[in-house]
Amino acid sequence: MDQFPLLWRGWEVHDPAVSTTVTVPSHRIIRHELFNHVNLLWSNLRAFGHPLLGNEIEGAPLFPLTWVMLFFPEPLVWNLLVIFRLILLGAITYLISRRVLRLSPTSSALFTLCFSYSLYVLRYLNHPWQNGLLSGLCHLYALDR
């Protein structure tokens, strides 16, 4: 353990080990830039720097759940994000099937199981495309209101 002090004890984004060859999770970069520099436009932690709002697909800095997750400890972030997304996917799908498609409660529950909790969705639990799926469903529901 003493051979790798940065790896096992207190590794942070601003350590000198961060370079162009080190992959830093996007969520960690967004959190570091927001809380340390109050900056969401640019980060110097990779290569010669990069814009956060344009390049961080996995970090999703403009996705509302990302803002909620910034205040949770990092080990919980990915689990909570997946759980919240699945709950919201099911709730919004149920609301769409009840109010937009005018299905019965039983049909709405079946539609929610087949659409939001299908094997394809559950197979990619921590993939960024689910942010787009949830956003699209929220927009679809908002259009009918």
Mean pLDDT of 79-83: 90
Mean pLDDT of 23-30: 75
In the three-class reduction of DSSP (H, G, I as helix; E, B as strand; rest coil), residue 39 is classed as coil
* pLDDT higher than threshold 50 for residue 43: yes
Report residue 134's pLDDT band, with 50, 70 and 90 as the boundaries: very high
- Ranges 23-27, 75-79, 122-126, 140-144: which has the least confidence: 23-27
Q: What are phi and psi of 75, to 5 degrees?
A: -60, -25
